[in-house]
A and B are shown apart, each in its own frame.
Chain A
């Protein structure tokens, strides 16, 4: 082991390169196993040329930007521009590209809540989620409780989120498994006819775009 490491350092000569050794901000608590594993992978990958500091920085900025979701903007535009909404329903990826959102290789499948249908999205096998539009998935979406239950008792789960769906409406669950990612267009609430796109976007939350709740005008 020591020998291998020695050879390696000699080859690359960056044992004390501060770009490569990670110095996290000092926290009060001891680092967890997976925190340490992340820092260790980072160092090994950089030493061996599989990752550069620039690549990592760019990727981190991308993750940070994902935490500020663009989804509400997309929905507000769909509510105010019927032709855009139709393009979104027909081909999610190219409609999102109009707003400079790159949905990547996954096929963005956009479904619309109506007076008759409430759509709700899950990934029962892992936690597939439309990150390009909605950012990182919230804890509950990733939980085994949500993944296991919403598929078999969606009305009960929706009611736990405060969403009561009357029996004369259809509940449509979407199990997003490999190459499809779903975005729900919520129903536009009554009394918002004269609202601007910005006002409309302000009532569209992440949960309404997964389909577990519905926006309200108040």
Chain B
């Protein structure tokens, strides 16, 4: 019996629950979403084989329910790719956060 609040059920495992009305509108991919997807494809099984899809799926299940629910699809893909790349030692969280700040600064300067 699929009890919707069963604690043994993963937060991603939602078949049979009721998340309400479906918004039928489709949006275009944003440029960064396309880039994130491309990076993922280039590193994945069809590219450098640094990881496989099953690993990023698993990362989605370990990022925690609040973050999972908060993020949209491409944000979730980006977060899960980050989790795996940090896990594999390609960069650390700290290095990434530092670089994000640098780029934000760079972009702000370019806008002025």
Contacts and interface: CB of A to CB of B under 8 A. Distances in A.
Interface of A: 1, 4-5, 21-26, 30-45, 48, 50-51, 55-56, 58-60, 62-64, 67, 104-105, 122, 124-127, 136, 138-140, 142-149, 151-152, 157, 160-161, 175, 178
A10 B41 CA distance: 30
Contact of A140 (B20, B23, B30, B57): B23
A59 B104 contact: no
Nearest to A126: B57
Interface in B60-97: 60, 71, 73-75, 78-79, 81-82, 85, 90-91, 94-96
Given A41-B96, A139-B23, A34 B46 contact: no
A26 B110 contact: yes
A148 B15 contact: yes
Identify whether the interface residues of B are mostly helix, strand, loop, or mixed.
helix
> Which of the four size classes fits the interface of chain B?
35 or more
A56 B39 contact: yes
Given A124-B14, A125-B13, A40 B26 contact: no
Contacts of A38: 32, 35-36, 39, 78
A43 B16 contact: no
Contacts of A143: 19, 22-23
B55 interface: no
Contact of A48 (B29, B46, B90): B90
A211 B58 CA distance: 28
Interface in B1-58: 12-27, 29-32, 34-39, 41-43, 45-48, 50, 54, 57
A67 B23 contact: no
B48 A136 contact: no
Contacts of B111: 26
B16 A151 contact: yes
B41 to A, nearest CB: 5
23 contacts: A1-B94, A31-B103, A34-B71, A38-B32, A38-B35, A39-B103, A41-B81, A41-B85, A48-B90, A50-B90, A59-B47, A60-B38, A105-B45, A105-B46, A124-B14, A124-B16, A126-B57, A140-B24, A140-B25, A143-B19, A152-B15, A152-B16, A160-B22
B42 A34 contact: no
A58 B95 CA distance: 27
B46 to A, nearest CB: 7
Contacts of A136: 29, 37
Given A104-B46, A145-B21, A160-B22, A51 B39 contact: yes
Contacts of A60: 34-35, 38
B82 A62 contact: no
A27 to B, nearest CB: 9
Contacts of B106: 21
Contacts of B18: 148-149
